[in-house]
Amino acid sequence: MKKYLSLMRVKHYIKNLLIFLAIIYNGNLLNIHYLKITTISFFSFCLMASAVYVLNDLVDIEKDRKHPTKKKRPIASGAIGIKKAIAFFIILVIGSILIQSFLWIGNILSYERYIQSIIFLFFYLFLNIIYSKYAKNIPIVDIVVLALGFLIRVYYGGVVIGVHISNWLYLTVLSFSLYLVIGKRRGELLYQKNKTREVLKYYTKDFLDKLMYVFLTLTLVFYSLWCSMGYNNIASNDKMIYSILIIIFITLRYSLIVEGDSDGDPVEVLLKDNILIGSILIYAIYMGVILYV
């Protein structure tokens, strides 16, 4: 069981919390009906995300076997056979669709929103098939496709509860996603001794550094504009603006870690730094108070 959980990359489910942005910033986190829809949809997306990780490991099996750490992954190490991995991939995809279908069958989700959510799930799968097969070897395209994965999570969370994602939130998430992905590529370029990722030969440290801080700057600008000008149905503009200071601290702390001896993986960076975790908790508490109390 442990090897299958490892194959599913459960700790990476933290990225899927982006699905909750729509319900949080729309002021409906305490609405039981919407919370139920979002939570069930979250688990549905998690299974689809795990299916994508299995697919990626199947495609990269030979490269992973040459990598100092990836060679320990269940498929690359031989702990899970290729046939079993393919069967598990199919099970995860079907499981994801069945969980999402429960919302429609149980009359919790309208047919229109159900179809839209299924389209998002399959679009996420299709996008990652393209990434695994082709896009990850094409410079810039690989970065944009990965960033789109973060955006899909946000829009998927909005679709299931019928909430429009504001333009400022879209721009904030897009810029921050690009910043995170470029930071990961930077870490891979500098700190992976055995560079099995082909696309790294096209990048240089200076180029990635410039891009990182362009998108970090854009993130702070767009977030500031979002706080002061445009988010959904919340009347606390004057108090939202103070959260910018916390966001600045979080991004500076994250940048400090990524600039250090780190491979830039966002999940690893977050989970290994207590100050960063504490800062995010402070942000969550502050936003919870001004939006709901």
Q: Does residue 6 register a pLDDT over 60?
A: yes
Quick one: angle between helices 141-161 and 167-191, nearest 10? 140
Q: Region 266-283: what's the mean pLDDT?
A: 94
| Local structure of 256: helix, strand or coil | helix
| Local structure of 233: helix, strand or coil | coil
Q: Does residue 196 register a pLDDT over 80?
A: no
Pair 61, 82: CB distance under 8 Å: yes
Q: Does residue 101 register a pLDDT over 50?
A: yes
Range in 77-81, 231-235, 287-291 the model is least confident about: 231-235
pLDDT value of position 235:
43
Per CATH, the architecture of 1-130 is what? Orthogonal Bundle (1.10)
pLDDT value of position 192:
65
Q: Which two tokens stand for residue 217?
A: 């700057």
**Given pLDDT bands bounded at 50, 70 and 90, which one contains residue 230?**
low
User: Could you tell me which residues come within 8 angstroms of residue 59 by beta carbon, excluding any fewer than 6 positions away?
Assistant: 132, 133
Q: Does residue 182 register a pLDDT over 90?
A: yes
Q: Which two tokens stand for residue 137?
A: 């070897």
Q: Does residue 80 register a pLDDT over 50?
A: yes
Q: What whole-number distance in Å separates Cα of residue 55 and Cα of residue 178?
A: 23
* Average pLDDT for the chain: 90
Give the distance from CA 77 to its chain's centroid: 26
- Closest residue by Cα to residue 184 from 147, 221, 130: 147
**Given pLDDT bands bounded at 50, 70 and 90, which one contains residue 236?**
very low
Q: What is the DSSP letter of 164?
A: P
Q: Region 3-7: what's the mean pLDDT?
A: 88
Give the distance from CA 218 to its chain's centroid: 19
Quick one: angle between helices 167-191 and 243-259, nearest 10? 20
Q: Region 2-22: what's the mean pLDDT?
A: 92
Q: Does residue 183 register a pLDDT over 70?
A: yes
Q: Region 8-37: what's the mean pLDDT?
A: 94
> For residue 29, which amino acid is it?
L
